[in-house]
Structure 1
Amino acid sequence: MKRHLPIREAKAAAERLFDEGRAVVELPMVESIDALRGELAACKVEVRVVPPPYKVDTRHVRDRMHMSQEQFALEFGLELATLRNWEQGRSEPDTAANAYLLMIDRDPDAVRRALAEEAPGRESAPAM
């Protein structure tokens, strides 16, 4: 939604998104959450403030696990260059990568087990 768009026009645009279920609209700046809440309530739209997602500190997770960048990338299926870019601040993990890193942070053994499990419908490699 554009700033200063009349609320009824914004509602019409948002309704197209809401037709299939719930929609989330990110507003980077709101002058008054109470005013927005009131205006949208008049249009029968619920406003819920959601805090930004927790950003995982990749280096902290890796250091706590006593792993090198190479070990961490290999064990969890990450590109080494991508991991280095995250740790050096040249880029940030996208939402999916951040969620994956959060899982690694909270329960690395569960991630290891999931990665070790055979994919459904895939035959195991012959033993050598």
Structure 2
Amino acid sequence: MKITEQDTDFGRELLASLQEVRDHLDGKIALPTRIIDAMPASRVKAIRKAVAKSPKEFERRFGVPARTLEGWEQGRKLDIAGRVLLTVIERDPDAVERALAIDPLISGVALEEMDAAVLREAQRRYTRE
């Protein structure tokens, strides 16, 4: 990357943005903000229990490692992506499963490792009648 002493539009916009942040921190201006409350561990556990009997079953259904889920259930930090995923699972778990559905012809997953419902769908899709 070439360093230049010239003024550029990008450089001026970056400096203006930094000044805006400084003014906000100094209380000179108010910027729009959105406060997102943390998801309590009890809610994480309630979501999991509503859709799966165990963390391992939750992992199988939604791809979230059981150890990660267990950490969230014990109050470890839940990032925004995890919070969004749990919120969608809470509202429509089938939508998440549909989005994560495995196509055995593309993925090469052994049929015996697939969930029975996925197996039936694969058979329906790829069996000629």
TM range (shorter): 0.5 to 0.7
2:49 aligned with 1:63: yes
Question: Could you state the TM-score of these two structures normalised by the residue count of structure 2?
Answer: 0.55
Q: 2:62 maps to what in 1? A: 76
Amino acid aligned to 1:84: E
Q: Output the aligned Cα RMSD.
A: 3.6
Q: Is the 8 A contact 2:51 2:93 kept in 1?
A: no
- Give 1:47's match in structure 2, choosing from 25, 31, 45: 31
Output aligned runs, 1:110-121, within 5 Å. 110-116=95-101, 118=103
Q: CA deviation at 1:103?
A: 1.0
- In structure 1, the gaps of 5 or more residues are 1-11, 19-23, 41-45
Q: 2:106 maps to what in 1? A: 123
Q: CA deviation at 1:123?
A: 2.8
Distance 1:49 1:73, change over 3 A: same
1:123 partner SS? helix
Question: Could you state the TM-score of these two structures normalised by the residue count of structure 1?
Answer: 0.55
Runs of 4+, deviation exceeding 6 Å: none
CA offsets 1:65-120 (integer angstroms, 9 cap, x no match): 2521111122110111111111112x1221111111111111100000000055xx
Q: 1:15 maps to what in 2? A: 17
**Sequence identity of aligned pairs in percent?**
31
Larger proportion of helix? 2
